[in-house]
Amino acid sequence: MFTNASPTLKEHITMNRIAVLKTFFSRALTLPLLCALSVFLLTRLVLFGYAISFSDQSWESLLTAVFYGSLRDLPIALAISAPWLLFEALPGILWRQYFQPFLFFIFVFTLLFVAVSEIIFWDEFSTRFNFIAVDYLIYTTEVIGNIKESYPVRTILSAIISISLVVTWLLRHRLFTIAESNKGQVWHNLIISIGGLFIFILAASALNATDFSRNSYANELADNGWRSFVSAARQNKLDYKSLYATRPDTEVLADLAQLSGKDELRATHLPSPPVRLAKQNNVIVLMMESMSAEYMATFGNRENLTPNLDRLAQEGILFSQLYATGTRTVRGLEALSAALPPQPGMSVVRWPNITNLNTLGSVLGDQGWQTHFIYGGYGAFDNMNSYFDAQGYKVTDRTNFKEGLVKFENVWGVADEHLFDQALIEFDKDHSAGHPFFAHIMTTSNHRPFTYPDGRIDIPSHSGRKGGVKYADYAIGRFIEMAKNKPWFENTIFLIVADHCASSAGKAKIPVSRYHIPAIIYAPQFLTPRQVDTLSSQIDLVPTLLSLLGLGNQDHFVGRDILKTSPSEGRALMSTYQNLGYLKGDQMIVLQPKRKIEAFSVSSNQKDAQSIPVDSNLANQAIAYFQGASLLMEKHQKLGK
């Protein structure tokens, strides 16, 4: 006797519903998912090729990052593909037939646009999107202008649009095929919506990624730009006490005072009465954009890019082992104004409503100096104008240069020679009025798109970084020669220093070689040329200048006078947006979020670092500097309220 094995009507309905759901999930999720994964893989392969072609990384050290990163891409691809399920759940079939191809085109275009943006960002910073990318969304004038002047934007956009159209056309049949069985099935729509939301939440939970390698370059390659951007947006300002290793506040402040050699440290400016001085020297701080030490012949370069800087290094006081505190201009401005160790997240220059800060300008202003901040670009960028204005500096940027002075400019700023011409005008005014002057000048020419006036150097404009370096050097040499003809020259101290290096990429968490910058104090009339090899930081230049001016008793800054620091006590402070480094000798302490502390032995060429046990004494010193700076700023903000 045989039984009827045919499915019942109820079973038919159930099987049909399961088939419908499988069809919807496969069509609505798989197609965009595969597109996203393909673009992610292609992006990583391009970055991999770039890394082994234009950096000191070997393909063997980065190959694992390609594989590991591909696994990381899956949850990110799921997260950005999940909304397609919600789209499928919407009622009405006909309108989806017409709009679905258009929306898919937008989806593919966005994937490709972000991929190209990542490659351009990597070319500039050798990292995935980070807090710089977040900041750049605010300053669109400079950033978009820079991209237009540096890259063939129309060609790139045309290519992206064309590829997106081709992909959409090739997949048009898949996009137009929509299951009729979904029509009017509310429960189908509900399940699909819940499924899409669940997948999105589950995938989004993978946004926090941990490092898989001790090679920071490999970690960046293994990351995903979508993930890193969201992460950076959430962590743009980090609270030291809640994230980093701490010690009792009183101990930290006492240790910081001892390390700095000061009886009193403060971040707040307290007006002081004039000090009797035999002479008030003018002070000019020339801060050069992206001038790595490696470009100078003084430090081994053989391309003759910086003949003027190399000559000034011989004629002035050269600090051969001085390191930037960070990788952005605002870090250099912070260090050369307030002499503060870098804080995690945003620089103090970018903090809102920071007024009455203890700065080099405020100290000299109390003593009768006319104080200036002079910038070749738009000072609204990175909050520079607001910051310096709030600290009492007279601010001059490209918007108020002398009419007719500027003959060449790009989106980032006027040519350095015009910047210095404007500075000379300001100095002549102060001298004629009988005032000593102090100026913090920030250049822009050594920055992509690397354009400058023709006929100045033997490298054509718009031909790359080397041209930007050599033109910046030319402009410095021209400025010094013009200053020599001024009546105020013999009474002037020049400090020539970089804001940061041209690149910050490396194998170590904080690659020391990528923080090494030139620093020269030039005053041939009264300072004997010499080379100082003491390990030192950008924050030490403010106390050093005050000491040379005879104002050491007005020094309440965290930095130290380099000229009076024993070589055995040398140290340097460095940072990324979240890693804080303390270098003493060849040992680097790195403070990281989640109160993590690591120690490394830095190689002789400073490009590599090997993990070593943490020296508790050095770790305590590192905490004293970074937690101490946080405490000083915390107290300053409370006083401001």
For the stretch 236-268, pLDDT in tens is: 567 888 789 999 999 999 999 999 999 999 999
Query: Tokens in use for 374?
Result: 């002079």
Q: State the DSSP H helix or E strand holding residue 150, giving kind and residue range, or none if neither.
A: helix 140-150
Task: State the Cα–Cα distance between residues 256 and 571, nearest whole angstrom.
Answer: 13
Q: Residue 562's pLDDT band (boundaries 50, 70, 90)?
A: very high
Backbone angles phi, psi at 454, to 5 degrees: -70, 155
Task: State the Cα–Cα distance between residues 51 and 47, nearest whole angstrom.
Answer: 6
Query: Tokens in use for 581?
Result: 């480094």
265, 226: one domain:
no
Helices and strands in the chain: count of H runs, count of E runs: 22, 15
> Does residue 556 sit within a domain?
yes
191, 258: one domain:
no
Omega before residue 344 within 30° of 0, cis: no
> What is the percent of the chain where pLDDT is above 70?
84
The three-class DSSP label of residue 245 is coil
Q: Residue 29's pLDDT band (boundaries 50, 70, 90)?
A: low
Average pLDDT over residues 79-98: 65
3-state helix, strand, coil in the chain (%, to 5): 55, 10, 35
Predicted model pTM: 0.79
> Interhelix angle for 465-483 vs 307-315, to 10°?
50
Cα angle, residue 349 at apex, residues 483 and 376 outer, rounded to 5°: 35
Strands 322-323 and 437-442: unpaired
Residue 271 has pLDDT above 70, yes or no: yes
412, 490: one domain:
yes
- Which residue in 549, 602, 537, 609 sits closest to 575, CA to CA? 537
Average pLDDT over residues 326-346: 95
Q: Residue 293's pLDDT band (boundaries 50, 70, 90)?
A: very high
214, 331: one domain:
no
219, 367: one domain:
no
Torsion of CA 484, 389, 287, 427, to 10 degrees: 0
336, 379: one domain:
yes
170, 262: one domain:
no
The dihedral through the CA atoms of 559, 562, 563, 569 has a sign that is: positive
The three-class DSSP label of residue 310 is helix
User: DSSP secondary structure string, 410-460?
Assistant: -SS-B-HHHHHHHHHHHHHHHHHTT--EEEEEE--SSSTT----TTSSSS-
> Does residue 391 sit within a domain?
yes
Domain closes at, from 179, 201, 234 = 234
Domain closes at, from 201, 234, 267 = 234
**For residues 222 and 320, which has the higher predicted lDDT (pLDDT)?**
320
> CB of 518 within 8 A of CB of 446?
no
CA distance between the termini of the chain? 93
Cα angle, residue 250 at apex, residues 248 and 256 outer, rounded to 5°: 100
Q: What is the residue type of 487?
A: P
> Does residue 169 sit within a domain?
yes
256, 228: one domain:
no
Task: State the Cα–Cα distance between residues 586 and 589, nearest whole angstrom.
Answer: 10
> Does residue 267 sit within a domain?
yes
> Does residue 481 sit within a domain?
yes
Integer angstrom CA distances of residue 90 from 17, 81, 178, 471: 17, 16, 12, 59
Highest mean pLDDT, choosing among 122-136, 172-186, 218-232, 518-532: 518-532
> Does residue 2 sit within a domain?
no
pLDDT of residue 504: 75
Q: Residue 189's pLDDT band (boundaries 50, 70, 90)?
A: low
52, 146: one domain:
yes
173, 265: one domain:
no
The dihedral through the CA atoms of 381, 382, 383, 387 has a sign that is: negative
Task: State the Cα–Cα distance between residues 396 and 378, nearest whole angstrom.
Answer: 9
The three-class DSSP label of residue 600 is strand
Q: Residue 84's pLDDT band (boundaries 50, 70, 90)?
A: confident
Backbone angles phi, psi at 556, to 5 degrees: -120, 30
CATH code for position 382: 3.40.720.10
pLDDT of residue 120: 85
> Does residue 76 sit within a domain?
yes
Integer angstrom CA distances of residue 596 from 162, 247, 280, 589: 48, 13, 47, 11
Task: State the Cα–Cα distance between residues 598 and 601, nearest whole angstrom.
Answer: 11
Domain closes at, from 190, 217, 234 = 234
Provide the domain count of the chain: 2
In terms of residue numbers, what domain contains 94?
9-234
Residue 115 has pLDDT above 70, yes or no: yes
> Does residue 152 sit within a domain?
yes
228, 330: one domain:
no
The residues with which 438 forms a beta bridge, in sequence order, are 283, 371
207, 341: one domain:
no
